[in-house]
Structure 1
Amino acid sequence: MSTSPTPDALLGPADIRELADVLGVRPTKQRGQNFVIDANTVRRIVRTADVRPGDVVVEVGPGLGSLTLALLEAADRVTAVEIDDVLAGALPATVAARMPERADRFALVHSDAMHVTELPGPAPTALVANLPYNVAVPVLLHMLATFPSIERTLVMVQAEVADRLAATPGSKVYGVPSVKANWYAEVKRAGAIGRNVFWPAPNVDSGLVSLVRRSEPVKTTASKKEVFAVVDAAFAQRRKTLRAALSGWAGSAPAAEAALVAAGVSPQARGESLTVEEFARIAEHKVSEENS
């Protein structure tokens, strides 16, 4: 039976700054680095993520290891994906020093998350991450697409991005990220995070987004690629009607209208009002027309 980690195993503000000093690390805007320096916040993230003792968690952008250590307290194992050479080199030693009894349950993948197509060890069941703001949506969608075994996801992102991901049809901020995230999962806002728990403190607020993998995928004969092509076209010119916005995708405005009418969608509607299922129906009708 493994011993539980000591209360001071997590990193506090002084630990983070000391570690950064030793490594010569200065958080960079280019990589969207803002390190969490508050142990209560990382424990709250782990609780909100519903991390369970049997979980295999993948973490993207672990930085100096604040959240990594809190995840290791709760999960069966943790695999961290880190692009930064210095941070990737230091993290295993931090885990070994602060949580030696769990070190064999930690793995590091030194890579750009967008290029990761496989992970060591058992398939991941959860994704928990403080995602770099500048690449949050593409990284999230890539991980959900690449690892269908991920059932539960909790990501910390810029508040504005959190709103977009969790937006529902008809909302002003509903767009491509909302529809694509909903293809994979039930998405909702799961809380706000203050600026003072980061170093350096960002000049924007952060939000938590929970994504629970759909128990049944979107019912459609169209492929994900075909559905996403409709979504991209519909939002490329936001204020246009779908008849106009999809004319390039369909080949002409009359062809777009035919696909929309066949799918039971008004040609005068706009992309902001459609569910992922409706986008799928539009894709289906174009595909069936091409095949007829």
Structure 2
Amino acid sequence: MSDLSAQTRDICKLLDIRPARSKGQNFLINEKIYDDIIKAADLQTNDYVLEVGPGLGFLTAKLAQKVQKVMAVELDDKLADYLQVAVDSQDVNNVEIINQDILKFNWLEYWSREAKLRQGSLKGKSLSYKIVANMPYNITSIFLRLFLSQEPRPETLVLMLQKEVAERIVAEPPEMSILAISIQYYANAEIVRIVKAGNFWPEPKVDSAIIKINLKSHKYDGEEDKKFFRLVRIGFSAKRKMLKNNLAAGLKVKPVQIDKAFQTVGLSSQVRAEVLSLEDWQKLFAALRLFVV
């Protein structure tokens, strides 16, 4: 770990980079944990990998040795320039550095173009990709919502996240949240390992976790998804209130209609939102579908 720590500090000093919390810049300085990320991703030689926030490129280099292509999206101009010079000087031909904000980058357009270029070698199959990243923590929730809720979705994500966020994603009743429902609706998630704060420089105030998210294979309906999550948001709108009161107020329907739906689904009238599993929410949505607009 000491070698990576020294390298990281030296490179930052050379580039006059002061790690910024506003950009979620905490550099991982333990090589074994990079290896754990790679192992969790179960990479194949024909894989395409989107890396978000490559930083100084330590993970990028390991990915490039394993896969067909790495598409590394870096917001910081200095880091993107540094990475491009490193790629060019080492004659690495399977890494593309993209100096963009991932939340504004037109991934659909980029990936459609990439898929078209590779069409001849796919033999009729669609081109899929994985996301492997030591994520900038300040964009985690919006990033996940963006890449899970619309096409083209990745087949797998292996991410370094704040431990607390990772635990919320894999939560079970009675500790469910909108975040847990949002991720579990689209994917199966598991925590691979916990990573202590001392493995980063600068050292963050919280521990982290490597999480693996595998997308479910069934198809989604954009309009139905929106209505489903509208119901979920209404359900969680006032945590201290019973779920039936939130739903009656949010859907503007009589409490008796909510009671009927609860009876159909087999829920207690006293239940709160965090007690419902994803399956419970899906059953409740089916029972209340006509009232969700």
- Return the TM-score normalized by structure 1: 0.85
Of 184, 191, 194, which residue of structure 1 is paired with 2:193?
Answer: 191
Matched, 1:167 2:156: no
Q: 2:14 aligns with which of 17, 22, 25?
A: 22
Q: 1:77 to 1:221 in 2, by over 3 A?
A: closer
Give the match's secondary structure for 1:208. strand
Aligned residue number for residue 106 of structure 1? 95
Q: Do the aligned partners of 1:263 and 1:281 also contact (CA within 8 Å) in 2?
A: yes
Instruction: Describe the superposition over 1:175-203 as per-residue Cα deviations: whole angstroms up to 9, x where unpaired.
Output: 11111000111111111112222111112
In structure 2, stretches of 5+ residues that fail to align are 116-126
Is it true that 1:40 corresponds to 2:32 in the alignment?
Answer: yes
Correspondent of 1:116 among 105, 123, 127: 105
Equivalent residue, structure 2, for 1:228: 229
Question: In the superposition, relative to structure 1, how do residues 108 and 253 fare at CA in structure 2: closer, same or farther (>3 Å)?
Answer: farther
Deviations along 1:77-116, whole A, 9 cap, x unmatched? 111122222222222222334x53xx22112232222223
| Cα distance between partner residues in 2 of 1:258 and 1:113 | 44
> Using a 3 Å threshold, how does the CA distance of structure 1 residues 244 and 69 change in structure 2: closer, same or farther?
same
Runs of 4+ in 1 over 6 A off after TM superposition: none
Q: CA–CA distance in 2 between the matches of 1:105 and 1:54?
A: 11
8 A Cα contact 1:188 1:210, kept in partner: yes
Worse-matched range after superposition: 249-258 or 50-59: 249-258
Which residue number corresponds to residue 282 of structure 2?
A: 280
Q: Which deviations, in whole Å up to 9, do the C-alpha atoms of 1:108-131 show, x marking residues without a partner?
A: 232222223423524552111111
242-251 vs 88-97, which deviates more? 88-97
- In structure 2, what is the equivalent of residue 53 of structure 1? 45
What does the per-residue CA deviation read over 1:216-248, in whole Å, with 9 as the maximum and x for residues that have no partner?
358x99711111111212222223211112223
Q: Which residue of 2 aligns with 1:88?
A: 80
Query: 3-state SS of the aligned residue for 1:157?
Result: strand
Q: Give the aligned residue type for 2:178.
A: V
State the distance in 1 between where 2:222 and 2:82 align: 47
**TM-aligned CA distance change 1:113 to 1:264, over 3 Å:** farther
Is the Cα–Cα contact under 8 Å of residues 155 and 210 in structure 1 kept in the other structure? yes
Contact 1:69 1:95 in 2 (8 A): no
Letter in 2 for 1:175: S
Deviation of 1:75 (Å): 1.5
Once the two structures are TM-superposed, the CA of residue 33 in structure 1 deviates from its matched residue by: 0.9
Between the aligned partners of 2:222 and 2:56, the Cα distance in structure 1 is 44
Distance 1:27 1:259 in 2: 52
What is the RMSD computed on CA atoms of the aligned residues? Answer: 2.4
% identical equivalent positions: 29
Distance (whole Å) between structure 2 residues aligned to residue 265 and residue 221 of structure 1 = 27
Secondary structure of 2:46 counterpart: coil
Alpha-carbon shift at residue 268 of structure 1 (Å): 2.2
**Residue equivalent to 2:143:** 139
TM-score (norm 2): 0.84
Contact conserved, 1:153 with 1:212, CA < 8 A, in 2?
Answer: yes
Query: Would you say how many aligned residue pairs link Structure 1 and Structure 2?
Result: 275
| Aligned residue number for residue 65 of structure 2 | 73
